[in-house]
Each structure stands twice: as C-alpha cells, then as structure tokens.
A and B are shown apart, each in its own frame.
Chain A
Amino acid sequence: VYTRKRSEFGRPCSFSDRPAKVNVDIPPDPSMASDFVLRNPVDSYVQHTSDMSEHEVNTERVEVESRGVNHVEGGWPKDINPQEVEQTIRFRKKVEKDEHYINTITHLGTLMEHCVKQNNAINIYEEYFGEEEVAEVEDEPPSAKTINVIRDPNITKRTATHLSWHPDTCKKLAVAYSSLEFQQNTKDMSFDSYIWDLENPNKPELVLKPSSPLVSLEYNPKDSHVLVGGCYNGQMAYWDTRKGGLPVEVSTVEVSHRDPVYGAIWLQSKTGTECFSASTDGQVLWWDIRKLSEPTETLVLDVTRKGLLENALGAVTLEFEPTMPTKFMVGTEQGIVIACNRKAKTPPEKITSTYSGHHGPVYALARNPFYPKIFLTVGDWTARIWSEETKESSIMWTKYHLSYLTDGCWSTVRPAVFFTTRSDGTLDVWDFLFKQNDPSLSLKVCDEPLSSLRLQDNGCVVGCGSKLGTVTLLEISSGLCTLQRNEKTLATAV
C-alpha cells in the first residue's frame, strides 16, 4: 500500500544529474553461432508503392419512417384571421383582381384544357394489341434466387416453426417463432411472433404477443384479418389484426392440449370460425373460435380404435383439403399416417385407415392440389408419395438422404413438382416427370437447419424458415412454376 502525507503533495521534484553507468553487459557467445547457418542468397522484395492499410466501414442503418402530413389551413397573411369569413372573402377578391393573376390563370387554363381534352379523346393505357401468343418455353436450367431475407429481431434467436401467407395479397407473411428444443427456453427468450410486410423487412408490421410461444400460426382463408395460433403449452389463441397484438381470446388451459400444438388448420364452414388442432398428446380437437373455452369435438388418435389415451399416437402434422371437408389426415410421431373421417358415427370408426412407412416422425403431410388422392409425406430421411388406395406402401419414394427432411409441400401450379427442406439447410425441388432419382434443383439456403416451408399461392415464391429464425424468400425460375402443356396428362398417366 502506497501512502503519502497530504502535506507532502505538490512538492517540487528535485532532479539530479548523474554520469552514465553501465547496468548490464552481455558479451557475445561464439558457441551459439553453431546453431545458425549462413543464408546465401537472401530473398528480399522491393516495391515502389506506398504502404496502405485496409479498413472496413459500414454505416449504421438509419431508421426511416414514413409519415403523412395533414394540412389544415393555408398560409394566410398575418393581418387576416382565417376564421373570419369576411376577411378571407375580401382577400380572395383582392387577389382575383390582380393583373398578374389574370394573365397566369389564362395561360395555365389553356395548358390545362389541352390536357383535359387529351384525356377525354384517347385512353393512353388501352391495350392495343391483344394477348400475344406466349413464346415457346426455353429449356433453361431451373434456378431460384433469394429475393428477401427476414431475420428475427430478438437477440436470442428462435426457430421459425410455421409460416403462413396472407390469403389475398401475398405481400404479408405471418411467422410463428418458438424454441422446440426440450427445455431450452431461456428466461429472456421473447414469446412474440410477427407478421411481416414484405415491403419492409426490417421491422415487423405487427407483433403478436401470446402467453406462450406459438408453434403454429394460420391465416383464416375467408377473413384475412383473423389468425389462429397453437401455443407451446397446448393452448389455442386467436388474433384479429385490426385489434392489435394481444390475442382476442385464448382457450382455457384445462381443456386444451397438454403438449405443443403442432398443427392448426381452419375448416371450411359457413361461419368461417371453425378450426381444428392436433398435438403430440394424441388428441385432435375441434374448436369454434367464438367460444374457445372448450372444444366442440375431440378425437383420440388410438390406432386400436378403442379411444384410449394411453395408446394414442402423438400427432406432429395435420392435413386438410377444403374440397373434401369430412376427411382429414394426421401424421404422427411414430411414422404412421392416419386418415380420418370426421362424420363417422362412432369414435372408433372415425379412423378409416393407416399408412405406415416412415421410421421417424412424419413432419409434413400434403395432398396434391390437382390429384387429391395422391399425397406426400416427409419424414426421417426420405419423402414418400402415396396413393389413397394402396395402403401397403408408398407408390414412390426418394432415396435416403444424408440429413433428415424437415418439411415439404406440393407446388400449387404444377402437379408434378414438390419441395422439401433438409436439416442441412438445403431446399430441394423435385419434378418427378423430369427426373425421378434426384431433385431437379437443390439449393443451399443457409447453414443452419431449415425448419419450415410454405409456398405462396401463385407458386413462384417460397418462404423457408430456419432454426435461427431467419426466413428466406426465394423466387423460383419460371420453368418450375408455369404449367407445361402436357403435364397434367403425363401426371395422370403416372
């Protein structure tokens, strides 16, 4: 500890001169020279340039916001009170008498009249030549390019588990974020899910604040303001985007699922308020969102048809086709796909058939929009195509990949094309009319595993969500999304 008396502070230093003194003297040691060899010739470079150093600079992103201006009243001169009608009338009359005003207005009036008449005479946007014949489709190699990347704005990144496009505009995307790792929820992980507007990928358009992270999220196809979400704790919640980010209603905990709700889909009904959900606790519940306090119907996924919850298989994915409103399919954790009929009289009869073929959970289940009897399942390391009639095995399957497949869906415009995502961050596009052993296009989207996939209704843009919450939007080349002339006939033949 260094101490010093206060009175001794500020004293002048007294320096003194001293002659040079040798402190250390190390003589060379010739014996060490044997460790070294003389180098001859020596390489040396000479360059007549000045030394430069390289630095990177990136400006901070400026937050820009668009705001409107509401003009209420013009810039009246100081002596005129705009509320006084007489004064304003007098001012106007004064201006109208001004010579300059008269000249200007006559001149501008002629200009304006010319344009007004022009508008009335021809319609400049008229289509003069009818739709020209579409040129022959070139055999270009299929490709896709990233058009947008949307990142999770939180610091702790969560997986983008489900994507849902806005039903009408296709410019908005609702993404559900949650962490599906068992007990990995850190305290500061936020529960929010976002609705993004593609015009503004930096800031979410709406923040949805559930009481527990959302695992699945779907827009109502009939009413584009309403969304239903399935939570990590098994509850169901629904939002109205006109009312803000808090759920309008949440189902009661006692009657909801006991495991994360992996699938939630809207049903076709006259009121447009019915939906159903499935979870790994083995139940499929039907809800009416006007009354979320209890489900309208339940079904236990027991393959032995006894309705026992202990035997039930956990559901991982749900599928519903609006054209066949009474039938739906569930993909389970055990690798079995169960086809069910909602309108069956007794609960055991509700389960019509099962298809087993996967070794692991069936992560995605989709019917072909053109041929509803054909459906696609994605699970373990393969994707399989099934026909409803053949119950023994799938009619077509892909080879075993190195990484397991996480999600898949059919193309909405071409009956023979489907997409799959893998856990090594690759998106595969398969065209089984063209090549049946390999994907026709394989794209590395990102380094982390891809967790969800959703195709826009027009078939050109596909959104993939990854484990770190990044949603990448890709536009696929027109060769993969325009219908070929004989494709439908060829696909039926298959």
Chain B
Amino acid sequence: MSLKRSSVQYTPSYITLLCLLCNREKAEVEETLKRIQAHKGVIATIVVNAEGIPIRTTLDNSTTVQYAGLLHQLIMKARSTVRDIDPQNDLTFLRIRSKKHEIMVAPDKEYLLIVIQNPCE
C-alpha cells in the first residue's frame, strides 16, 4: 500500500490510520509465522537478516545465532553452485534432512527464513 505524501495533514486520526495499516501488514507477517509454527512437527521458526541478526526466533539466542551463521554460509555456497552450473538459474529453497529432523531454509537477498521440522515417520 503506498500513500501520497504531498498535501496531507498529519492529524492524529491520520496517524492512527497509518499505524493501523502498517500493523495490518505486520500482522500478516505475524500470522504467517504463527501459522508455520503451528503446523504439525515444526520445532522452531527463525527469521534472520543478512548480517546474522535474528529478527524473529522461537529458540534461544545462542542456538539461533549458531544456525544463522552456519546456514548463511551454506546458502551462499549452494547458491553459487547452482549459478555456476547455469548462470540463469538461482536457488529458491534448501532442504537438509538429517537423522533427527529436517531443516528448511528459504533464502532471499536480505533475509533467511529457517524452519526446523520433524517429519512424520
């Protein structure tokens, strides 16, 4: 939603309106993350930015930072591998299945969405 900036008076009601709109979009994010967390088998959800700062996490800080640091390097390596093979291609998703659970990473230029799930087996 983009609003025209010119000739608008920042009355209190207007500011409330702006906040509400922002909150609605922010609420969308909240809802998405909560929905993912509520799925069966999901252990943790983490949102990290490109510098390794956890924006949103359901785990403790030290584990989150550990995941962030290690997965960031792996994503970069995976992306460069995909692009080396075909420069038109790009990495969209990464899934690591281990003995105990599955780590799914959705990468983006700025942020990383990491979900750790225990697949039903």
Contacts and interface: CB of A to CB of B under 8 A. Distances in A.
Contacts of B108: 104, 107-108
A472 to B, nearest CB: 32
Chain A: interface size category: 35 or more
Interface string B105-121: 01010110101010111
Interface string B96-108: 0000001010101
Interface string B51-85: 11111100000100110111000000000000000
23 contacts: A71-B52, A72-B65, A74-B65, A75-B52, A76-B51, A77-B51, A92-B55, A102-B26, A104-B110, A105-B32, A106-B29, A107-B108, A108-B106, A109-B29, A109-B33, A112-B113, A116-B41, A116-B104, A119-B119, A120-B40, A120-B119, A123-B119, A125-B121
A122 B44 CA distance: 20
Interface string A122-143: 0101100000000000000000
A70 B121 contact: no
Contacts of B106: 108, 111-112
B111 A71 contact: no
Given A105-B113, A116-B117, A96 B36 contact: no
B28 A106 contact: yes
B93 A102 contact: no
Contacts of A73: 65
B39 interface: yes
A100 interface: yes
Contacts of A111: 92-93, 106
B35 interface: yes
B22 interface: yes
Interface residues of B, number: 43
Contacts of B41: 116, 119-120
Contacts, number: 110
B28 A102 contact: yes
A108 B109 CA distance: 12
A43 interface: no
Interface of B: 22, 25-26, 28-29, 32-33, 35-36, 39-42, 47-49, 51-56, 62, 65-66, 68-70, 92-93, 95, 102, 104, 106, 108, 110-111, 113, 115, 117, 119-121
A200 to B, nearest CB: 22
Contact of A115 (B48, B49, B51, B104): B104
B52 to A, nearest CB: 4
A26 interface: no
Residue of A69, A74, A91, A106 with most partner-chain B CB within 10 A: A74
B48 A109 contact: no
Interface of A: 69-77, 91-92, 95-97, 99-102, 104-113, 115-117, 119-120, 123, 125-126
Nearest to A113: B36
Nearest to B2: A99
A136 to B, nearest CB: 33
B5 to A, nearest CB: 14
Given A91-B53, A109-B35, 19 more contacts: A71-B66, A71-B69, A74-B48, A74-B52, A92-B56, A95-B49, A95-B55, A101-B29, A102-B25, A107-B108, A108-B113, A111-B92, A111-B106, A112-B36, A115-B95, A119-B102, A120-B40, A120-B119, A120-B120
Given A111-B93, A112-B115, A100 B53 contact: no
B113 A75 contact: no
Please give me the 8 A-B residue pairs with the lowest Cβ-Cβ distance, nearest first: A71-B69, A75-B51, A74-B52, A109-B32, A74-B53, A108-B106, A108-B113, A119-B119
